[in-house]
Structure 1
Amino acid sequence: LQRGSGDSPGVSGLLRSRLEKLKKLWWRKSIPPVLQHSETARLAMDAFLEQGEPGYLQAIAEEQELPFLSPLDMDYMSQHRSQSIPEPNARKGHETEPKEGDTEDRASLFSELSSGTYFPLMSDVQPPELELGWPVVPLATWYGQTQASVYFQRNKANSIKDLLRCLISRAKTVIAVVMDLFTDMEILCDLMEASSRRHVPVYLILDEKYLKYFIEMCSKMALNKDHFPNMRVRCVSGDTYYSKAGKKFAGQVLEKFVLIDCDHVLAGTYSFTWLCSQVHACLVTHFRGKIVEDFDREFRSLYTESKPVPAFCIPEAGSSPASAHSSAWTFQSLLKSAKPNEAGTASQASSLSNSSIESIKMSPFRKNST
């Protein structure tokens, strides 16, 4: 673990120290980047999750490090942070006061599992299957030389959306999509035509935090799960950060690529929105050949981590199909549940902060309480 020497008077953190050297124009010695994990950054992050911006700035000052978080970073974490370990009095059916040491035991257990790491707890749930089928990777993909063509949205002679729709219309064996934001009705109709008319399996993985916009689009189009018999819609989030005291927040999946027949891949900055097709400056790269295998592997990994969207779950054989009214109700309930919980994110501190396990160095927001 790499951390600044903020405990020593006059010694700056690693990032600040490097910046000060770079500002010296007469300094000729090369200054390589520090690629290791920053313990100072972890301490500052934990302070922010527990005490908000004041705690974060205090930790930065004590470590003599640069304020590396932008306002955009802090707004995101403030909106999406939550408590990973339930409060003792908030547990269902638990009305008595917690016993002495109970809070510390729970925090210790969590610390052993995820303390000092950025990795979520592993799950023993079986990964979902690609039940619609998955084609054999073509020989041209296995052994073919990688080919790449770049398309820029600013070049009106080569429309990215037209290229995408053309590839979808030619798909024969599978269409696999990973997308952050999907609100383009024309592309959804293209996917529906491919799946229901040409019987091409379609797998769609969407970012969980932007899922509500896709559901809202389907609601406007009066669509329900009965209109997606050969399509699977799932959602996924990015990595989850856990603080020492039990706060957490999940990142987003901002990958954007479309895999066609395990032979073509479109990947880049293009989202399935009207703005991207008309005014945003975007680009995509059209890949063929052996590199497609990497996207095939990445899609399978994301699909394993993803979870189903209730509004698009196909009922098992023998169960009664949902009516249009019940499907519409499901869409509306999902839209409501997708809104951020303001009450849950307004808290600036957690009672678990007093039982945070000390590892490597005591969190800065605990120094004044001990």
Structure 2
Amino acid sequence: MSQCLEDSPLRLGTKLTGGDELKLQELYNERHRLALEELLSGGIENFLEFLRKERIPNFLSDDEMQQIRSAAVPPPRCVSFLGEEQGPELSSSLDCSSLTYFPEVSDVEPPVLELGWPGFTAGSYRGVTRAVAHFQPSYGESIYSCKEAARRMIQSAREVIAIVTDSLTDLDIFKDLQEACTLRKVPVYILLDQSCAPAFLKMCRNVNVRLDDLRQMKVRTITGTTYYMRSGARITGEVHERFMLIDGNRVATGSYRYNWTRRKLNQQQH
């Protein structure tokens, strides 16, 4: 429960009102947690049997059950005082925390916006907010597709480009970002879902680009919430947000992903 409350405004020790109690129930459900334990330790049949015994409606779709099982990371293997490796199957309650160090985050805090962040005092639009819908492929009155709209925004950037996405392997868009940070010296911040990092790095290698050489581009990875089991196994969610901020006055968001298949095969909006 403390995992869920750690970053929540509903912290332990605070007096809860009626509305806060309802929010707390949405935040944490002990029976759902036990059901997930059964799903990971015994499989789908054990999970469904637990739901029947507890008279709990099935709160997971078939796809979600498969995704959770495939995304679960087994507990780390422990080492005894004698130096013998012990697998997690020997004891699901074995506590290795006093003997082994398994850091979840770096010991060193990452620099905050080390390329700087403009004040947006010059040229920022202060008039009526406008929204334009783009489609992939282009549709209706919109003459630009999602990809073309995104590329035009990147090519027009003069102060900063900030992208949060779960996928970035489109060579044309990456080339535009590369030109923005090298030729126009525009700071580029990219925040990727951690699962996308290998594909992104492979794309860079395929086009002979070393990220260390792009001084005005910073790429970092993040994950969704991590859910821990009693056995030590954990489930980590993914980042499904997709948005791009240009010069502090233009934002692009939607279902479009920056890769080839989304551009050529799938219908999307941006």
Q: TM-score, normalised on structure 2?
A: 0.75
Partner deviation per Cα, 1:9-29 (whole Å, 9 max, x = no partner): xxxxxxxxxxxxxxxxxxxxx
Q: Which residue of 2 aligns with 1:128?
A: 111
Q: Which residue of 1 aligns with 2:84?
A: 95
2:171 to 185, 203, 206: 185
* In 2: Cα distance, 1:185 partner to 1:104 partner: 48
Q: Which residue of 1 aligns with 2:149?
A: 163
Give, in angstroms, the shift of residue 239 of structure 1: 0.7
* In 1: Cα distance, 2:136 partner to 2:236 partner: 31
Q: Which residue of 2 aligns with 1:277?
A: 263
Judged with a 3 Å threshold, the aligned counterparts in structure 2 of structure 1 residues 103 and 267 are, in CA distance, closer, same or farther, namely closer
* In 2: Cα distance, 1:159 partner to 1:153 partner: 5
Q: TM-score, normalised on structure 1?
A: 0.56
8 Å CA contact 2:227, 2:234 repeated in 1:
yes
Secondary structure at the counterpart of residue 224 of structure 2: coil
Judged with a 3 Å threshold, the aligned counterparts in structure 2 of structure 1 residues 43 and 178 are, in CA distance, closer, same or farther, namely same
Give, in angstroms, the shift of residue 93 of structure 1: 6.9
1:79 aligns with 2:65: no
2:130 to 138, 143, 147: 147
Secondary structure at the counterpart of residue 164 of structure 1: helix
Partner deviation per Cα, 1:60-88 (whole Å, 9 max, x = no partner): 1111223332232222222221245x444
Which entry has the higher C-alpha Rg, 1 or 2?
1
Judged with a 3 Å threshold, the aligned counterparts in structure 2 of structure 1 residues 210 and 121 are, in CA distance, closer, same or farther, namely closer
8 Å CA contact 2:137, 2:263 repeated in 1:
no
Judged with a 3 Å threshold, the aligned counterparts in structure 2 of structure 1 residues 108 and 279 are, in CA distance, closer, same or farther, namely closer
8 Å CA contact 1:180, 1:207 repeated in 2:
yes
Judged with a 3 Å threshold, the aligned counterparts in structure 2 of structure 1 residues 40 and 142 are, in CA distance, closer, same or farther, namely farther
Q: Which residue of 2 aligns with 1:38?
A: 29
Judged with a 3 Å threshold, the aligned counterparts in structure 2 of structure 1 residues 127 and 49 are, in CA distance, closer, same or farther, namely same
> AA paired with 1:179?
T
Partner deviation per Cα, 1:8-66 (whole Å, 9 max, x = no partner): xxxxxxxxxxxxxxxxxxxxxxxxxx973433322211211222223212211111223
* In 1: Cα distance, 2:53 partner to 2:239 partner: 34
* In 1: Cα distance, 2:196 partner to 2:85 partner: 40
Sequence identity percentage: 33
> AA paired with 1:236?
I
2:236 to 250, 253, 256: 250
Judged with a 3 Å threshold, the aligned counterparts in structure 2 of structure 1 residues 230 and 50 are, in CA distance, closer, same or farther, namely same
* In 1: Cα distance, 2:93 partner to 2:259 partner: 48
> AA paired with 2:83?
H
* In 2: Cα distance, 1:173 partner to 1:67 partner: 49
Q: Which residue of 2 aligns with 1:217?
A: 203
* In 2: Cα distance, 1:81 partner to 1:177 partner: 28
* In 2: Cα distance, 1:92 partner to 1:140 partner: 65
Structure 1 or 2: larger helix share? 1
1:57 aligns with 2:48: yes
8 Å CA contact 2:162, 2:245 repeated in 1:
yes
Partner deviation per Cα, 1:189-227 (whole Å, 9 max, x = no partner): 000000000000111111111222212212221222344
Judged with a 3 Å threshold, the aligned counterparts in structure 2 of structure 1 residues 125 and 229 are, in CA distance, closer, same or farther, namely closer
Secondary structure at the counterpart of residue 82 of structure 1: coil
**How many pairs does the alignment contain?**
236
Secondary structure at the counterpart of residue 106 of structure 1: coil
Give, in angstroms, the shift of residue 133 of structure 1: 1.2
Judged with a 3 Å threshold, the aligned counterparts in structure 2 of structure 1 residues 52 and 128 are, in CA distance, closer, same or farther, namely farther
Q: Which residue of 1 aligns with 2:9?
A: none
Judged with a 3 Å threshold, the aligned counterparts in structure 2 of structure 1 residues 69 and 107 are, in CA distance, closer, same or farther, namely farther
8 Å CA contact 1:169, 1:190 repeated in 2:
yes
Judged with a 3 Å threshold, the aligned counterparts in structure 2 of structure 1 residues 143 and 105 are, in CA distance, closer, same or farther, namely farther
Judged with a 3 Å threshold, the aligned counterparts in structure 2 of structure 1 residues 92 and 162 are, in CA distance, closer, same or farther, namely farther
Partner deviation per Cα, 1:163-193 (whole Å, 9 max, x = no partner): 1111111111111111111111000100000
> AA paired with 2:117?
W
1:205 aligns with 2:188: no
Q: Which fold has the larger relative contact order, with Cα–Cα distance below 8 Å and residues 6 or more apart in sequence?
A: 1
- Cα root mean square deviation, aligned: 3.3
8 Å CA contact 1:176, 1:202 repeated in 2:
yes
> AA paired with 1:95?
E
8 Å CA contact 1:182, 1:273 repeated in 2:
yes
Judged with a 3 Å threshold, the aligned counterparts in structure 2 of structure 1 residues 57 and 103 are, in CA distance, closer, same or farther, namely closer
8 Å CA contact 1:138, 1:263 repeated in 2:
no
